[in-house]
DNA sequence: AGGGTGGGAGAACGTGCGTTCTCAGTTCTT
DNA sequence: AAGAACTGAGAACGCACGTTCTCCCACCCT
């Protein structure tokens, strides 16, 4: 098995186990067992657990934002449609059987105060999501794209948290309605 | 030292340390050292760490909701004022130097998948906050108090998460504006 | 072909932590 | 006043986990 293939299998295993169970509930032995990569190779690819966690978060960030952007691009016919489409995608995400909330919020709560690299990865992810939302709000003629993007980010994170805790994917719906209301309010001020 | 005094000191110490550092970063020895309560008595009061964590969460829930409700009652002159007051209180909370996000969201990310009692305490807290917000939205003549309460809950949790991750208390402001906009929209539909 | 290099499996090590035990000292009871 | 029960301080135990080491096997180069 090559170094690169081992790295990929480790990252896939890490994402599955860390996301499903939390970081500190998953030992390096579990990563080894589920990935089929030996411990020696594991530590060649990632010199510590923390570095594996950081790599897992960076990879998940790319994939998560990619899935969101792809869905929105495929389902939104106009810039105005893009914003509700974000929350439609949230809803489909919440409905996935292994949904367990936002990996970044969970990791931040678990490790944010002890692992600076993890905290930085979480901040980076939220900044990139914010930048994406700002793209969407800038594409429509609203008065204050920055404020609307901030509001959408809060709605997005809030819906994710509520859905994770209650276990109810319908938590996306009120946030979607709120997003649409805030958007139309900025488009056609009362 | 009496049993009750020990319990109180343990809970105060647990709240301070668990909230600041996360649960699994704080050992029972740290609780003992900072509280001045012996390990023997500690285990008389709380038979396990998990029970201490649950008691900490239940106590924090009562205090947190109490502080919120007191602030709102003191600062809102009309039912319409209550909803923005919720977010004003959020802002003052975010500005506290030891603010580190929502204890319940953090604990859920850390322990939700392994400690059912913790997950239940978190769910209970969110239900009670939701019930409080529903009280507020029912007190004003809106079309759909339930949906507005759900939206406020998402905005509240979202703002808390964003403030914790970015470290910027100003995350409360866009959510406050969004809450006001959604409220007025339901009061005077366009 | 054969010695050396690298890899896999898993044992071993050190540490940290939850929990319990030991052992004096102290207080309460009669 | 004397014995019993309780208490605090901290050692001890068991376990889990991150990390490293050992051993043996397979492959590679000349």
Q: What does the pLDDT look like over A111-162, one tens digit per residue?
A: 999 999 999 999 999 999 999 999 999 999 899 999 999 999 999 999 999 9
Per-residue pLDDT band at A188 (split at 50, 70, 90):
confident
Task: Measure the CA–CA gap between A60 and B136, rounded to whole angstroms.
Answer: 38
Task: Measure the CA–CA gap between B5 and B25, rounded to whole angstroms.
Answer: 25
Residue A37 DSSP code: -
pLDDT at residue A190, rounded to an integer? 64
B100 chain-A contacts, CB cut-off 8 A: 113
Task: Measure the CA–CA gap between A142 and A139, rounded to whole angstroms.
Answer: 9
Contact B109 A114 (CB under 8 A): no
Of B25, B126, B177, the CB nearest to A114: B25
B109 touches strand C (CB under 7 A): no
Number of H helices, E strands in chain B: 9, 0
Task: Measure the CA–CA gap between A109 and A105, rounded to whole angstroms.
Answer: 6
B71 touches strand C (CB under 7 A): no
A165 chain-B contacts, CB cut-off 8 A: 104-105, 108, 112, 122-123, 126
B29 touches strand C (CB under 7 A): yes
Contact A109 B174 (CB under 8 A): no
DSSP, collapsed to helix, strand or coil, labels residue A22 as coil
Checking A137-143 for CB contacts under 8 A at 24+ apart, the result is A137/A83, A139/A79, A139/A82, A140/A79, A140/A80, A140/A83, A140/A183, A140/A187, A141/A187, A142/A183, A142/A186, A142/A187, A143/A186, A143/A189
Interface check B157 vs A, CB under 8 A: yes
* D9 C1' to B7 CA distance, Å: 19
pLDDT at residue A141, rounded to an integer? 87
Task: Measure the CA–CA gap between A44 and B187, rounded to whole angstroms.
Answer: 62
pLDDT one-digit tens code per residue, A6-17: 999 999 999 999
Of A22, A107, A161, the CB nearest to B161: A161
How many angstroms away from the CA of A159 is the closest CA of chain B? 5
pTM over 0.75: yes
Q: What does R_g of chain A's alpha carbons equal in angstroms? A: 18
Interface check A120 vs B, CB under 8 A: no
Angle, vertex CA B164, rays to CA B174 and CA B17, nearest 5: 145
Q: Where are the alpha helices (DSSP H) in A36-144?
A: 39-45, 49-75, 79-95, 103-111, 116-139
């Amino acid at each position: 098995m090559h170094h690169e293939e081992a790295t990929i299998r480790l990252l896939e295993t890490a994402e599955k186990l860390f996301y499903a169970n939390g970081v500190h509930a998953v030992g390096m032995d579990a990563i080894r067992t589920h990935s089929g990569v030996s411990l020696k190779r594991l530590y060649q690819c990632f010199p510590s657990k923390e570095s594996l966690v950081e790599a897992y978060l960076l990879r998940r960030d790319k994939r998560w934002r990619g899935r969101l952007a792809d869905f929105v691009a495929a389902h939104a016919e106009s810039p105005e449609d893009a914003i509700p489409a974000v929350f439609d995608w949230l809803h489909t995400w919440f409905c996935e059987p292994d949904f367990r909330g936002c990996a970044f919020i969970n990791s931040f709560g678990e490790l944010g105060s002890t692992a600076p690299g993890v905290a930085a990865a979480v901040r980076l992810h939220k900044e990139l999501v914010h930048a994406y939302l700002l793209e969407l709000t800038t594409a429509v003629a609203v008065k204050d794209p920055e404020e609307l993007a901030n509001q959408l980010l809060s709605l997005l994170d809030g819906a994710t948290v509520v859905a994770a805790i209650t276990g109810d994917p319908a938590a996306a719906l009120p946030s979607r309605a709120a997003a649409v209301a805030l958007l139309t309010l900025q488009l056609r001020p009362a």
